[in-house]
Structure 1
Amino acid sequence: MLGVTLKDRKRAADIRSTTKVEDVPKKMRRLKWRWTGHMTSESRMKWSKIKIEWQPRNGKEKEDRDRTAGLNPTCQWSVYTQHNHIPDEHFAVTEMVGPRYRVLAGATLTSFFSVGQVLLGAIARAVRPWRTLTLVLYAPQLVTVAYFWLMTESVRWLLSKRRYADAAEVLRAAAAANGKRLSERAAAALRASAERERLEAERKAAERAQAPWLPMLVLRSRPMLFRVLVSPIWWISTTFIYYGMSINSVNLSGDGYFNYMAVTAIEIPGFCTAYFLLDRAGRRPVLCAAFWLCAACQFGYVFLPGATVQTPASLGYCFSTRQCIRKLGAWNEDFLNSTSVKLIDNLVYIFEQWAVSLTLYLVGKYCIAIVVAAVYVFTAELYPTQHRHSLFAFSSMIGRIGSITAPMTPALAQTVWEGLPSTLFGSCALLSGFLILLMPETRGVSLPDTMHDAERVGQAGPSAKDDAAHSKSSQ
C-alpha cells in the first residue's frame, strides 16, 4: 500500500505487543515455561498424588515469578469486587423509577456499560503501557466512594427492615425534589402496606420451608425440567459469543483499537432495538432471529480469509479502480505520485482489507447485543415467582462457562485455524436459535406464581395465573 512507512509498521507491532491480546501458546514458548507432572506414591496409603509445578530455567525467570506472585490474586480480587456491585447498581436504579420506566432504565444502564467499553478502547489507544493503563482506568473509581453520601438508601430495603421513619424521610426528599409534598396520611398508609407485605412474605417463607426440595419439584415437572436443562445452553452461547467477539475484535484487519470501540459501540443500538421489539414482536421471534442472523454473519466472516473482501462485486470494483490508476501512472508518472491518487489507493485498500469484514462483524455483535438484552427477560418469565431467583441464578451461573472459555478463542485461531472462533460462535448461535423455538412465548402472559402456573405458560386461552384464580374461586 502506498504511503505506509517502516516506522508505521514498527509502531503497529509495538501496539500489538503492549495492549492487545497475545497468542497464549506463543507467550508460553517465549517465557519457556515448563510444566512437569510428578507422580509420587506412598506405600502405606496406596494412592498417588499428581503435582504440577512451574520450574524456572534461570535466575531471571525466578525473579520474574517472585515479583509477579501477588498479581494473580490481586486481579482475581479486583474482578470479584468489580462484578459484585453490578447487580446492586441495577437494583438501585430500577427501584428509583416507577414500573412504567423500569425497562427503559435498565436499557439505559446497560447502554452506559457499552459506553464504558468504548472509552476503554479510546484510553488504551492513548495510553499504551499496560501498567499505566491500569492506573488510569482504576484511579477514577475512587470517586465512587462519594456515592455513600450522594445516593439514598433503597426505600424497599428500609421498609423490609421496618425502618419506616427513614423511608419516609427519603420519600419526603424525593417529593420535595419534584415539587410535591408527602402527607402524614400517605406515610401512615405506606407503613400499613409495608406491614401487610411483611406478614405476607413471612407466610410465604413458612410455606416454602414446608414445601419439597426445589430439585425434587423440578424433577416432578417435565416442562420445568426441560426448561432448566435447556436454558443454560443458550446462556452459555450468549456469554461465549458476546465476550468472544469483543476479545477477538482486536485481531481484525485495520486499527485494533478502533475495531474494539466500534464493536462495543454497536451494542447500544442493539439494546435499544431489543427494548422496542420485545413487547411488539414477542420474545421468541426476536431471540430466534437475532441468534440466526448472528450465526449467518459469523459463518459469512469465515469465508473472508485474511479479512479480505471476496465478493465478486467488490473485487471487480477494487480491481478496475487499481487498474485505472496503474494505466494512468504508466502514462504520467507524476500522476501516480500525486496525493489524491495515494489517497484513492489507500481507500481502496482499506475497503478490500477491512470494510466488509468489519461490517459483518458489527452486524453479528449487534445481534448478540439484542440477545443479551432479551435473554434476561425471557428466562425470568419462564420460571415461577416462588423459585424465580434460584432457577434464574442457576441458568446464569452455568452460562458463565461461556465467558470462561471465550478468552481461549484467540489462541485457537492462532494454533488451529483462524476461522475456528467464528465457526464456534456461529454454531452456538444456530443451536440456541433452534432451542428458543422449543420454548413457549411469554409476551403478554402474566408472570406465573407456582409451578403449575409456569407449566401452563404459553398455552392458548387465558393466562395460567388467571385460570388458576378462576378455578380457585369456583371451588
Structure 2
Amino acid sequence: MDSEDVLRVLDSGKHNIFQWLTFFKLGFVYLRGCWHVLAIIFMGAVPSHWCARPEDTNSTHYYPDGECSVTFEQGGTNVTEECSYGYEYGKEFDSTIATDFDLVCKNDYQVDLSTTIYMIGSALGAILITPLSDKYGRKKVLLVSLWIQGVFGIGVAFVQSYIAFVITRFVVALLNMAIALIAYVMITELFTTKKRTLPSVGVNFFWSWGIMTLALFGYLIRDWRHMQILITVPNFITVLYIWFLPESIHWLLTNKRWKLLRKTVKSAAKTNSITISEDFFRHMNEAETCPSRSIEQVEVDTFVKQGTEQHVETKDVKPMDGQTKAVTILDLFKTPKIRRYTIVMFYLWFVISLAYFGILFSTPTLHGNMFVNLAISGAVEMPACLTCMYVLERTGRRKPLVCFMLLCGVMNIVTIFVPAETASGVNLQPLTITFAMIGKFGITGAYSTVYLMSAEIFPTSVRNQAVGLSSFFENCGSISAPFIVYGAKNLERMPLVIFGALTVLGGLLALMLPETHGQALPENIPDIDDTPRHVTKTTAPLSDPGVTRL
C-alpha cells in the first residue's frame, strides 16, 4: 500500500468534500501570504513631499526648491541646501514608513532596501524552515510558523525605527515563504494523480485574489500601521486549524504514523460519505504492532466498490530494509538522474523568477490610479491560470512549460525592437505593453507549471526540502532582477536581452525533465531511478467490499 492507494479509496466518494474543504483552508493560507509580500507597495509608498520651513522665518526668506532642497537668503545671497528642518508630506496617505521615518531624498533607497532584505528572508526561510515539515510534519510546522509570524507581524505595526521595521519584517518573510511552500505541498499531496492538476494550479487563483483584495485594503486604509495589523490578524484565525486541518496522508504514511493515519483516513471517509472496512487497515495494524516490518513488505489488496464489481489492485513492491535511513538534501545529487532533474529545476526556478520581476521592472509604468493598477495586475494572471488548468491536464506538464517559457523569452526579446513611435508619429507604446503582457502571461503560466512539477518530480521523503531549496533559487532570481535593470541604465536594451536569452535557455533545458502527468508521486529517492512497478488489475465478483457508499 502506498499513499496513492489510500487517496484513491478516499476519492471514491461522489463529491470529494474532504479534499476540497482542505483545499480551501490551505488556499486561505496561500492568499494571506500574498498580503505580506506586496503590502510594501502601500506601506512604503512615497507621497508628494517638500522641505519643512523653520518655525521662525522673520529674518530669512526661506522657500522650498524642489522636493529635497531649500533656498534662502543669507547676507544678500541666495543659498541652496538640503532640507535642514525635516519634510512635509502630501495627503495621499495618512502615514507610510516613508513619512514616519523620512525615507525620501538621500534616504529614498531604504524603502527598496527593506524589500530586498525581505526577499533575502524569504530565501533563507525556504531552505531553513521548510525542511522541518519533512521531519516534524506538514501541519505542525505550518501552524507554528503562522502563529510566530502573527506575533512578529503585529510587532511590525508598533516599531518606532526603520531598523526595527526591517528586522521584524525580515522574520515575517523568513516564515512567509515556508508557510506558502508547505501549504502548496499539502495541496498536491491531497489529491490522486488523476485529479492533482486542477487544485495544484487552481491555488494560484488565491494569489490573484490576494493581490486584488490588497488593492482594496490599500484604498480603504491609508495608515500603514493599521494596514499591517489588518493583514496579520488572519494568521490567528488558523488556531481553528488545530482541529479542522488534517495532516498530509503522504507524510503520515512515509513516516509510519499509523495511528494518526488511520484516524485521518476514517475522518476523511466519513466526510466523503463512504465506509471503509477494517480489512483495509489490517496492514497498518500489522505494521504498528510489528515496527520492524514495513508495510511495503506485504502484498496489498485494495478493495474499492464500483457498481456491482470489485477491483483488486495488486502491487509487487520491493522489500525495504528494517532500518529507515535518514534522507537529506544531499541525496538529491546522489544519482545521475535525480541530479539532472534537481539542477534543471533549480535553474528554472531562478530564471522564471528573474524574468517575472524583470518584466515587471522593464515594462512601461501604467498611468492611472495605483490601486486600480494593482487590482488589474492581479486580474491579468487569471487567464494564465485558466489556460494552465485546461492545458496541463490534457497535454501534460513538460510541453506547456517549454511553450510558456519560450513565449515569455521571445516576447522579452521582441519588445526591445519596438520603437517608441513610427516614422509618421504613431505611438507604439500600446504595442510594447501588449508584448510585455503576453510575456507576463507566459511567465505566469510557467510559474504555475514549475510549482506543480516540483511537487511531482521530487519524492515525498525529501519533497519539502527540495521545493524549499528550489524556492531559494527563486528568491535569488527576484533579488537579481532589479540589480540587472538598474545596473544597465545606460544600456536600455540589455536587461530584456538577458531575460529573454535566459528564459529561452530554460525552455530548452525543460526538455530534459520527465513527464510527471499521470504518474504516482515518488515516495523515496530510489523510486526515481527504479523501473515502473508492475501493476495488475483483475475484476472479481463483489464479496467483502472495502468501501461502500452510504
Q: TM-score, normalised by structure 2?
A: 0.54
Name the SS of the counterpart of 2:238 in structure 1.
Answer: helix
Per residue, is there more strand in 1 or in 2? 2
Paired letter, 2:294: L
Among 199, 208, 211, which residue is 2:294 paired with? Answer: 199
Contact 1:380 1:392 in 2 (8 A): yes
**Matches of 2:417 and 2:219 in 1, distance apart?**
29
Question: What's the CA shift for 1:371?
Answer: 0.9
1:273 CA drift (Å): 1.9
Alignment match, 2:479: 404
Cα deviation per residue 1:392-423 (whole Å; 9 max; x = unaligned)?
5544433431022235466457x545655544
Aligned ranges for residues 56-455 of structure 1 at < 5 Å?
67-155=161-249, 160=255, 162=257, 164=259, 166-188=260-282, 191-192=285-286, 199=294, 203=320, 206=323, 208=325, 214=331, 217-218=334-335, 221=336, 225-246=339-360, 251-303=365-417, 310=421, 355-378=430-453, 394-408=469-483, 411-412=486-487, 415-416=489-490, 421-439=495-513
The aligned counterpart of 1:347 is: none
Partner of 1:461: none
| Residues 205 and 14 of structure 1, relative CA distance in 2, 3 Å threshold | farther
Per-residue Cα deviation, 1:43-95 (whole angstroms, up to 9, x for no partner): xxxxxxxxxxxxxxxxxxxxxx9833311110011112222222332344344
5+ residue gaps, structure 2: 1-46, 50-89, 111-158, 297-318, 536-550
Indicate how the Cα distance of structure 1 residues 106 and 228 shifts in structure 2: closer, same or farther if over 3 A, else same: closer
Shift of 1:116: 0.8
The amino acid across from 1:435 in the alignment is L
1:29 has 2:124 as partner = no
Corresponding residue of 2:531: 465
C-alpha spacing 1:107/1:377, structure 2 compared with 1 (3 Å): closer
Matched residues in 2 for 1:108 and 1:299: separation? Answer: 30
Question: Shift of residue 373 of structure 1?
Answer: 1.9
Whether the aligned pair in 1 keeps the contact of 2:287 and 2:295 (CA below 8 Å) is: no
Higher-helix-fraction structure: 1
Taking the TM superposition and a 5 Å limit, the aligned residue runs for 1:6-21 are none
Question: Structure 1 163/372 Cα, relative in aligned 2: closer, same or farther at 3 Å?
Answer: same
Choose 417-426 or 193-202, whichever is displaced more. Answer: 193-202
Amino acid at match of 1:361: A
Shift of 1:286: 1.7
Whether the aligned pair in 2 keeps the contact of 1:249 and 1:256 (CA below 8 Å) is no
Distance 2:272 2:457 in 1: 37
Matched residue type, 1:302: I
Q: Is the 8 A contact 1:20 1:250 kept in 2?
A: no
The amino acid that maps onto 1:360 is: F
2:28 corresponds to = none
Give, in whole Å, the separation in 1 of the partners of 2:271 and 2:520.
34
Specify the SS of the correspondent of 2:273. coil
Deviation at 1:238, TM superposition (A): 0.9
The amino acid that maps onto 1:260 is L
For 1:139 and 1:266, the matched residues in 2 are separated by 28
Q: Could you tell me which runs of 5 or more consecutive residues in structure 1 were left unpaired when the two chains were aligned.
A: 1-8, 34-64, 319-351, 456-463, 471-475
User: TM-score, with normalisation over the residues of structure 1?
Assistant: 0.61
